[in-house]
Amino acid sequence: MGLLNWSQDLGIDLGTANTLVYVKGKGIIVREPSVIAKNIQTGEVEAVGNAARNMIGRTPGNISVVRPMKDGVIADYDTTAIMMRYYMKKAMRKRSLFASKPSVIICVPSGITKVEERAVIDATKQAGAKEAFTIAEPFAAAIGAGLPVWEPTGSMIVDIGGGTTEVAVVSLGGIVTSQSIRTAGDNMDEAIAQFIRKHYKLMIGERSAESIKMDIGCAGKVEENKEMEIRGRDLLTGLPKTITITAEEIAESLKPAIEDIIEAVKTTLEKTPPELSADIIDRGIVLAGGGAMLENLDHVISDETKIPVFLAEDPLECVAIGTGKALDYMKHFKTSPDVSSRQFVE
């Protein structure tokens, strides 16, 4: 095997909810939840990814299941480094990570601070990277969605992840204007859980809330009022209880989060230069990220902005694909003083 085959550059979408790793020349190799289970007494890692996610809400007192990423940034530095090392090793498979350390491009929210960005780079190097660069998440999503980011034309991307929603207008290889808000998939799950707690006095777990969102969640007016049985703990008796909820109730609970996202889109449009605004009216707005798959969300945003809205082909993988494709421009990478305008020069 030639020496070049030992060098595998990686693109990592280190998300609040999920981590995806793109290996240059191979595509996305790893897709797992950004979750880790640790033994509180010994400090040992019990499980990472899917195995750890299956433990949520089901662990004994000595095991803690945590999500080291919060709102798109690192909340627990050491745990994030351990998780990344696990995923990088998994992506590299049989090759020794230390025999040939990869160069890594990792995506970050456009509203990230310099300190938060440095933490991501340091954690990536601690996990085994030779060198690490960052790319703004909405720019990566735009590349992954197949938008003409290098051309002198305006493209608008709305990336709704687990911890953040990133709205950006991209043109000529960079971000012209952007908005990053910490209202996204996790907030929607929390809103559903709070609604059920308030109206039914029933406590449900985060996995149950996410299932409800995915099965009967809807933005705006509900056309088919689906029903769903859910189980939880009755707050009055402390006993297990089953109730039936409707899509209309869930739509009501999601309303504030949807309004925040629409407001971010409108704010970004207001800051967009007129020439690029005209391009966006012609080309439409593209939605990416897991949150973009919420039923009817595209129609609600379109109604509010009077602009066509489309769902990206692979909404869950857009950022990872874009980060992976950015590996081809690593030598031409440069960082502007504004972290949200990080860009590649073709």
Residue ranges of the binding site: 16-18, 162-164, 210-213
16 and 98 fall within a common domain: yes
Q: How confident is the model at residue 4 (pLDDT cuts 50, 70, 90)?
A: very low
The pLDDT tens digits of the residues spanning 145-203 come to 999 999 999 999 999 999 999 999 999 989 999 999 999 999 999 999 999 999 999 99
Question: Domain range for residue 196?
Answer: 185-253
310 and 330 fall within a common domain: no
39 and 22 fall within a common domain: yes
134 and 238 fall within a common domain: no
Position 92 scores a pLDDT of 82
Rounded (10°) CA dihedral 147, 150, 156, 157: 60
Residue ranges of the binding site for ATP: 16-18, 162-164, 210-213
151 and 196 fall within a common domain: no
Cα angle vertex 30, ends 28, 35, to 5°?
Answer: 140
Task: Give the end of a domain, one of 253, 281, 298.
Answer: 253
State how far the Cα of 14 lies from the Cα of 1, in Å rounded to an integer: 31
Position 170 scores a pLDDT of 95
Position 95 scores a pLDDT of 56
163 and 228 fall within a common domain: no
The pLDDT tens digits of the residues spanning 56-80 come to 878 888 898 888 988 888 888 888 8
Q: What is the CA radius of gyration of the chain?
A: 21
User: In whole numbers, what is the pLDDT of the chain averaged over residues?
Assistant: 88
State how far the Cα of 67 lies from the Cα of 161, in Å rounded to an integer: 14
**What's 67's domain CATH number?**
3.30.420.40
291 and 241 fall within a common domain: no
Q: How many domains are there within the chain?
A: 3
306 and 324 fall within a common domain: no
The pLDDT tens digits of the residues spanning 84-135 come to 989 998 888 755 544 578 889 999 988 888 998 999 999 999 988 988 999 9
The pLDDT tens digits of the residues spanning 36-48 come to 999 888 888 899 9
127 and 39 fall within a common domain: yes
> Mean pLDDT across the stretch 333-340?
42
